[in-house]
Amino acid sequence: MKLFIRKTPTEELLLTTGLQAGGAQRRLAEKNLYERFMYLVQHGMRNYRLSEDDSVSAYSDTILSVIDNVVGGRFEGRSSLKSYVFQIFMNKSVDLVRKKTTNRYTLYDNDVVDRLTRTLPDKARNIVQQLIDANEQSSLMAKIRELGEKCRQLLLLFEDGYTDKEIAVQMEYNSAEVVKTTRLRCLEKLREKMNSPKMKHD
C-alpha cells in the first residue's frame, strides 16, 4: 500500500502564486513580500553605505520590479525568489552609488514632486526626470491627481514626513503595513501612467 504525502507549499511559492492570483490575494502577497525581505534595507546601509532613505528607495524599487516580473511571467523560478530579490536589490544599490559618485544623482529636498520620483523604478524615474528638466512638473502632478484622492493624499502625507503609523490613523487604514503596501500600489499605478503612450501627447 502506497502512502501519499501532501507537500506543503513553500513560502516563496505562496508568495509568487499569490501575486499572480490578483485581487485580495495579491494585496496580501504584496504585503508579505515587502515584509519578508525588509532586512535588505539594513544590508544596503551597511554594505553600500547608502543613507536610510536611499536604501528604502532601492528596496521599494526592488519590490515593485519583482512584483512586475512575477505578475508578467518574467520570473521563471530558475533561482530562488530570495536570490532573485537580492540580485535586483544589489543592482539598484550599485546604480545609486554610481549615480552619486558621478554627480548625476540629484535630490530635490524642498519639492514634493521631485522627492516622489526617488521611489519610482529606473525607467519611470528617467521619464519623470525628463519632465522636470523640461519644466513640466504640472504634468506630473496631473498624473498624480489621476490616481485618485486616496493615493494622492497618501503620497503627499508621506512626502510631508508623516510616518506610516500616523497615515494609518489619519486615513483610517487598518495598520502601518497596509499603508506601506498601498503606497507601493499607488507608485506602481503612477509608473504605469508615466509609461503610457498618452504621456507623449500631454
What is d(CA 111, CA 126) in angstroms, rounded to the nearest whole number?
A: 17
Please report which residue ranges of the chain form alpha helices under DSSP H. 11-21, 23-36, 40-47, 52-71, 81-101, 112-116, 122-133, 137-146, 149-159, 164-171, 176-195
What is d(CA 93, CA 160) in angstroms, rounded to the nearest whole number?
A: 25
What one-letter code names the amino acid at 160? D
- Residue 196 DSSP symbol: S
**Ranges of the chain whose pLDDT falls below 50:** 1-8, 103-111, 135, 199-202
Has this prediction a pTM greater than 0.75? no
User: Given this model, what pLDDT does residue 40 score?
Assistant: 93
What is d(CA 151, CA 25) in angstroms, rounded to the nearest whole number?
A: 20
